[in-house]
Structure 1
Amino acid sequence: MSSFCIRPAVDTDLRHLYEMAKLTGGGFTNLPPDRRALTAKLARSHAAFASNGDGKVKDELFVLMLEDRATGDVRGTCQIFTHVGQKHPFYSYRIGTLTQHSRELDRTFRAEMLSLTTDLEGASEVGGLFLHPGERAGGLGLLLARSRYLFMRANRPRFADRVLAELRGVIDEAGGSPFWDGLAGRFFGMNFQQADEFNAIHGHQFIADLMPKHPIYTAMLTETARAAIGLPHPSGRAAMRMLENEGFAFEHYIDIFDGGPTMTARTDHVRTIRDARESTVVAIDALPGREALVAAGRLADFRCALADIRDGDGGIILSEDTARTLDLTVGDTVLHIDR
């Protein structure tokens, strides 16, 4: 197996995050190419990893990094928010339908509408996943995505009973957003690139504050804006499939910024969280086994990797490579789930 390992972010990861942020191509609000915003994220994450919780519901942020333990190179990152909307309202558009019937015309009219809502407030959120373009093979994207669920399982009391994932919406070749141009852009004196930069640094509360609060009929939008509603960016289609495989579904919520789909699931029904098993490491050897994700530790001690494992007497047997990558010895307790 590879020597890649998921670990908590530390302050010295600022350089790695900034370099990755410059590669995202815009519309990636959880990873802005802004050193000040990224420094604030790392500070917030550091505080979350250092806290054991005091029983209060908080919107905490955990930033995880993908590191090659053999070289020290950092090649990816992902994020988890514990409870969104605690400091500021968490707005989404919900796609709905209004049906009206005219007796005189003997016709039924169905109008699709977008309604501003805070339905998802209080949910946990998985996001901020970025894998370096040179590493998009060999299952590292799967490792990044599913490590978040094993982290949630290992620290379950910190997370809500519902979890969401916002997928980046459609962005055209010029870097613009058809949804922004057709809806929000009409209310603001800035183009999508300007709004995207402001959003990434300051959050999208400014949009919610200035957007009309009444429902918007989609028939009044441009054709290109309507076509973008609920569609993920082409680079996010694989991520959408992975979410669906975990049990997430599109329940007609979209991002108010770019119109991308918001996927939701019950936290305890997410496949990796539900099916992961806790076992003791009973042996370490060089014999091949089956592929699995293995995680150990809680909070700042958390780590996760793709691994070779076999069933043993009273626990599992790890490959020597896996034990080395995760710093595990016989007697340690791990979470694991087959790939």
Structure 2
Amino acid sequence: MLVVRPITPQDYQALYTCAEESGHGFTSLPVDEDLLQRRIARAQEAFALEQVSKPGEEGYLFVMEDTETGEIVGCSGIEATVGLSDAFYHYRLGKEVHHSRQLGVYNALETLTLCNDYTGVSELCTLFLREPFRKNMNGRVLSRFRMLFMAEFKERFSQYAIAEMRGVSNDDGESPFWRWLQQHFFSMDFIDADYLTGIGEKTFIAELMPRQPIYVKLLDAEAQAVVGQVHKSTRPALGMLESEGFRFRGYVDIFDAGPTVEVEVNNIKSVRESKRLPVTIGEVAEGPLYIVCNTRVADFRALQARVKVTAETVTIDADSAAALRVQPGDQVRIVSLTGENS
């Protein structure tokens, strides 16, 4: 059985393996021992907070564990807010109109402007599922359980949430968009710039990034073609988020120009459709698949299971109850895994 739970210090080596396997362009999971150790410690502090009245700089990091083998098969995270201590940069796509009535010339030109517009919002981040386990809707569970966590503990998160999608790069980690920036403004390759951002070293962005809007038409053809486009391996994740209500509003990553999508938390489909019900334990030989989680923070658990749902209760089998650490009468939160109405 695959169960999602808060990360612990004992999961460090597994997290490091995920970082190695995630490849280039995965900014929130760099291959850096000190940073990964700090992320685990920071997550431990966040989960230990019993009372939170408003979102701060907490970072919640979870792992998905195979309970039969103890193997960690993936990870997933939520930042309560971004940009409060370290600047959080994006390029905002806009338009500038050049118009001469006398000459009969009208040009509406796309621009990229460096901004910090997402400061203070929550972020879904660090989603990575190891290759052998990308089946049986495990990826959907590893992403969507976070929406149940946010629904259950709304006071810990902002009114709005974003997710940064990995942009286009080749197998060697080369980004066409960054190649253009490097040629004109920087003297480092994409991998180094992305790594520095991942470990929190962002001073160079303010020092070297162009301060004036960039006309998209001035980019070379390859760079223009990838603005707002996702890496091929990220398309399923983007599709899932779009089905939850996330939308692209013209903000792209400053290194690979991948899109950032946003949503109001209350409008996330899984948040709206989730239910909080007392649990009963019994045989569930057949039934629809749901994502089910308990309602505790430090001892949070989530998994997929077949359930029986009524207006008053949800019935799960004994193995699922044990994995969730719930007893009859305890509250759980559920949402359909397949999108079917209960």
Normalising by structure 1, what TM-score? 0.95
Task: Tell me which residue corresponds to 1:277.
Answer: 275
Assess, with a 3 A threshold, how the Cα gap between structure 1 residues 37 and 313 changes in structure 2: closer, same or farther: closer
8 A contact 2:167–2:256 mirrored in 1 = yes
The whole-number CA distance in structure 2 between the counterparts of 1:304 and 1:145 is: 11
- 1:204-253 CA-to-partner distances (Å, cap 9, x unmatched) read 44223421221111111111111111111110000000010000000000
Matched, 1:71 2:69: yes
How far apart are residue 103 of structure 1 and its match? Answer: 2.2
Unaligned runs of 5+ in 1: none
Q: Which sits farther off after the overlay, 175-184 or 312-321?
A: 312-321
Amino acid at match of 2:317: S
Match of 2:259 among 239, 258, 261: 261
Which stretch shifts more, 64-73 or 195-204?
195-204
Which of these residues, 111, 121, 124, is aligned with residue 123 of structure 1? 121
> Against the structure 1 CA distance between its residues 53 and 328, is the aligned structure 2 distance closer, same or farther, given a 3 Å change threshold?
closer
In the TM superposition, 1:56-205 aligns within 5 A as 57-184=55-182, 186-205=184-203
* Counterpart check, 1:210 vs 2:212: no
Q: What displacement does 1:273 show? A: 1.1
Partner of 1:9: 7
Superposition RMSD in Å: 1.5
2:28 pairs, out of 17, 27, 30, with 30
- Shift of the 137–58 alpha-carbon distance from structure 1 to 2, 3 Å rule, reads same
Q: Which residue of 1 aligns with 2:316?
A: 318
Secondary structure of 1:163's match? strand
For 2:246 and 2:203, the matched residues in 1 are separated by 26
Structure-2 change in CA distance of 1:249 and 1:203 (3 Å): farther
Report the Cα distance in structure 2 between the residues aligned to 1:215 and 1:313, rounded to whole angstroms.
54
Task: Classify 1:203/1:304 alpha carbon distance in 2 versus 1 (closer, same or farther; 3 Å).
Answer: farther
User: What residue is the counterpart of 1:42 in the other structure?
Assistant: 40
Report how many aligned residue pairs link the two structures: 337
Q: Distance in 2 between matches of 1:159 and 1:99?
A: 38
- Report the Cα offset of residue 326 of structure 1: 1.6
Q: Give the TM-score of the pair, scaled to structure 2.
A: 0.95
**Matches of 1:130 and 1:223 in 2, distance apart?**
31
Residue 105 of structure 1, CA deviation = 2.4
Matched residue SS, 1:32 = coil
- Aligned residues of 2:46 and 2:58 also touching (Cα < 8 A): yes
1:143 partner letter: V
Q: Structure 2 residue aligned with 1:294, among 292, 295, 312?
A: 292
Residue 250 of structure 2 corresponds to residue 252 of structure 1: yes
Q: What is the Cα deviation at residue 328 of structure 1?
A: 2.4
In 1, the alpha carbon distance for the partners of 2:322 and 2:284 equals 12
- Tell me how far 1:88 sits from its aligned partner: 1.8
- 1:150 touches 1:272 (CA, 8 Å); kept in 2? yes
SS at match of 1:26: coil
Of 196-205 and 221-230, more deviation after overlay is shown by 196-205
Judged with a 3 Å threshold, the aligned counterparts in structure 2 of structure 1 residues 185 and 22 are, in CA distance, closer, same or farther, namely farther
Deviation (angstroms), 1:53: 4.3
1:51 paired to 2:37:
no
Deviation at 1:115, TM superposition (A): 0.9
